[in-house]
Amino acid sequence: MSVMDQEILWLGWSGLHVTPWKLVGYTGALMFGGRWVVQFIASRRAGKPVIPRVFWYMSLVGALMTLSYFLFSAKQDSVGVLQNLFPTFTAAYSLWLDIQHRGWHRDRAPH
């Protein structure tokens, strides 16, 4: 058993069996879900629907983290792998398009 699959004993008080891989999965899930909070705040400030670049970064990192959890942890769940493959590629492509369209500087006007 890998050290990443061993229970973190000091979290035993929670009643949950938490491993380092689960922390990777939890963090990825929170990041992937938290991107909607970022999008909501950006849209509220702009007064119209917008998707800030950080949304795509959070999507990509969150999807990669949850994908890693399902691929490399003891769980090795093919449903979780399939569920996270498409968002990973979509986020990477959307981030690439955003950088191509606006360049690296966020405040730059589109071409």
- For the segment 11-51, what is each residue's pLDDT rounded down to a tens digit? 777 777 788 899 999 999 999 999 999 999 999 999 999 99
Residue 109 has pLDDT above 70, yes or no: no
Percent of the chain with pLDDT strictly greater than 90: 61
Phi first, then psi: what are they for 48, rounded to 5°? -160, 160
Encoding tokens for residue 34? Answer: 């938290």
Within 8 A by CB and 6+ apart from 24, the residues are 65, 68, 69, 73
Residue 1's pLDDT band (cuts 50, 70, 90): low
Number of neighbours of residue 56 by Cβ within 10 angstroms: 21
pTM exceeds 0.75 for this model: yes
Domain ranges of the chain: 9-101
Our CA angle for 26, 51, 102, nearest 5°, is 120
